[in-house]
Amino acid sequence: MKGSDRLRRLASYAFVAALVVAAVSCNEAHPNTTLVPHSDLGREIDFLWDRLLLLGTIVFILVEGILVYIVFRYRRRENQGTPPQTHGSTKLEIAWTLIPAVILVFIAVPTVRTIFITQAQAAPGSLSIEVTGHQWWWEFKYPEYGVTTANEIYLPVGRTVNFRLRSADVIHSFWTPQLGGKRDVVTNRTNYMWYTPDTSISSNVWNGFCVEYCGASHANMRFRVFTVSQQQFDSWVAGQKLPARFGAVASVAPSGGPVPPSLAAPAVTTPPGAPRAATPSAALAGAAQSSVAAASTGAVQAGYIFPREKIPEYAVPHSPIPPDLKFTAGLTGNAARGKQIFSSSACIGCHSIAGNPAAMGVTGPNLTHVGSRSTIAAGRFPNAAAYLALWIKNARKMKPEVIMPTLGLDEYDPVLKAKVTAAGGGLTDQQIADIVAYLTALK
Ligand code: CUA
């Protein structure tokens, strides 16, 4: 073998070794890994995976070792006649029936054990969350507290949560890789899944996904799980239970005791806008300003909300904005006017806002506390005025085939293949800026 050939072969071995090392070193730098579970359910599944991987590796090495040995030991040699032909061997037949049977026992026992554990009912006293999969967003209800939200779940660490999984349309699948799952969300059937977030993961954010192909925006059907302390959870629930309000700053103490200073509801000090992930274009600047106006009208944050600045990079959306979607710069939204426009337009046909008797729709996400959420469009964009304005203007350009209609006046609706007219309820950029000011104020 020439020196350069040997070098090339060595290089390829090194490359494969590097790949293997990279593949097995999944840790916190890989936020969507299943190999670092943070719940009891996740650990059960991880245990089974590790056990089967070990057994499978042993079987593979033994079988391949014997195969390679036989190939070399009994390979055809020069001047060799036909070897003796045998037919049937009772010993051999028994051996290769028994060996796989024994191997199967070693695989079946932990597998069946894990199935029983993961299919068992949740412990009594678990936190119940009703999950409904929609094309393409997640509805979450906390029946114990009368709270309805969308695309974001808050969970107190150390308490078992019992998910009741149902679909409003087609088959979806509910998965938070680092916490547990996945389980299908099926029409005409209720599935259940439970897990207990480890107490060590307080103040964390986890990505969740739909993992069953469910149509054009399947990949845009994401959610976030915020694991928080019991006290933060109580405060969050207290805030979410209140009807939507804006115009006065109020504070709600959690039922569990006094609020630590860091949790007390602050007056709005930062504009809800200012997207962290992407730099909005100049055309977006006008909408971003409307958020400043919204803040000045007095957004209400009644309960704990996971601080935006603490949300890790992997949980911040980076979806591109359609290049042909523009918004008038320099507009200032007025929340009170926005509420009026919202309450007399198509919005109320699909969205509910507790505290706004005009808004009772149930087709789309409940917007009662939409200003407290970190993303819009099921995790596709950051929840910031600039994105919200474009979303209202032409959602179908922002997220393929979304049910949310195009509302911007003179905008082209890619599903209806027509322009939105004034007679058809089209909204001007100023009207949209007003609605954005209203919605971002709904903390
Ligand atoms: Cu829902 Cu994929």
**Residue type at 350?**
C
Using a 6 Å cutoff on CB, does residue 213 contact ligand 1?
yes
With contact defined as beta carbons under 8 Å apart, do 439 and 388 qualify? yes
Distance 405 CA to ligand 1 centre (A): 20
pLDDT in tens, 207-234: 999 999 999 999 999 999 999 999 999 9
Task: State whether residue 410 is helix, strand or coil.
Answer: coil
pLDDT in tens, 80-116: 888 888 888 899 999 999 999 998 999 999 999 999 9
Taking alpha carbons only, the member of 157, 155, 149, 134 closest to residue 373 is 149
pLDDT at 181 over 90: no
Using a 6 Å cutoff on CB, does residue 133 contact ligand 1?
yes
Task: State whether residue 381 is helix, strand or coil.
Answer: strand
Distance 192 CA to ligand 1 centre (A): 17
Q: Is residue 203 very low, low, confident or very high in pLDDT (cuts 50, 70, 90)?
A: very high
Using a 6 Å cutoff on CB, does residue 182 contact ligand 1?
no
Note the pTM of the prediction, 2 decimals. Answer: 0.80
Residue 403: the pLDDT is 93
pLDDT at 2 over 90: no
Distance 137 CA to ligand 1 centre (A): 8
Using a 6 Å cutoff on CB, does residue 224 contact ligand 1?
no
Beta-carbon contacts of residue 347 (< 8 Å; ≥ 6 apart):
359, 361, 435
Q: Which atom of ligand 1 is nearest to the CA of 212?
A: 2
Q: Is residue 7 very low, low, confident or very high in pLDDT (cuts 50, 70, 90)?
A: confident
Helices 282-296 and 429-441 pack at an angle, to 10 degrees, of 50
With contact defined as beta carbons under 8 Å apart, do 305 and 238 qualify? no
Distance 167 CA to ligand 1 centre (A): 10
Beta-carbon contacts of residue 227 (< 8 Å; ≥ 6 apart):
38, 155, 156, 157, 179, 197, 201, 202, 203, 204, 205, 206
Using a 6 Å cutoff on CB, does residue 172 contact ligand 1?
yes
With contact defined as beta carbons under 8 Å apart, do 277 and 314 qualify? no
State mean pLDDT over 73-82. Answer: 86
Using a 6 Å cutoff on CB, does residue 218 contact ligand 1?
yes
Using a 6 Å cutoff on CB, does residue 216 contact ligand 1?
no
List, in sequence order, every beta strand (DSSP E) within 331-378: 375-376
Nearest residue CA, atom 1 of ligand 1? 172
Beta-carbon contacts of residue 300 (< 8 Å; ≥ 6 apart):
245, 246, 247, 248, 249, 250, 441, 442, 443
